[in-house]
Structure 1
Amino acid sequence: MGYRIGKSFSFDAAHFLSTLPSGHKCSRLHGHTYTVTVELVSLALAPPGFVTDFGDLAPFAAYLDEQMDHRLLNDALDAEPTSELLARHMGEWFIAHVEPGLGASLSAVTVAESPTSWARWEVER
């Protein structure tokens, strides 16, 4: 057991899924307002009683703003920009660039491309 927090970020971007049949609507260029939620866990709290200060997640917000916001996601990833693969990509980036400065561990990343559709990548430790 332990403590769990989440923080959501949003950005707007376009993509298309080129491996789908040409008649599939997602094979055409289209955009979404994405919501990305990171979940962090910790067995203990840091003063004054945080899993981590939400301000410590600013490098992830900056990464999304610089690399994903108002971009063609097909250019940002080396794979099809599905929500599932976006979640894994963002999670791996977070673990490599943000997590080392935290007293908490990333447990999951959820990417929602609409209010009713989302994908989740869970970290295996």
Structure 2
Amino acid sequence: MTASYLIRRLLAVILVLIIVTFAVFALTMILPGNAAIMILGEYRTETSLAALEARLGLDQPWYVQYYDWVSGVVQGDFGQSLRLSLPVSEVVGEVLPQFSVAGCHGAGLGDGHCHPSRPACGSAARVEG
């Protein structure tokens, strides 16, 4: 592997991350309502809704909200879980080891079961050139 290959791959990963985060952000902006409406529920007043929207930054234009979120993520601040009232990094940090272990076990089982030297794999389990 050359350095130029690694740089190209890193730039491709960064581009994909930008596109995916922007697409997800855009989809949440298209949906009716917002987080403040969900939090306050049906008994909200216009005053309480406006105050919560201002506190959450939902009264800002979409590009300001996206920039604020991306700049927070770059600094390691993934925001606050509205449902659990905990930092998102804490919530993800609790379950990430479990997913990592499950992924390693799944990869190990798949590799052990469908090793190319085993005839049971068949052509469906491997790509032949």
TM-score (norm 1): 0.30
The structure having more radius of gyration, on CA atoms, is 2
Greater relative contact order (Cα < 8 A, sep 6+): 1
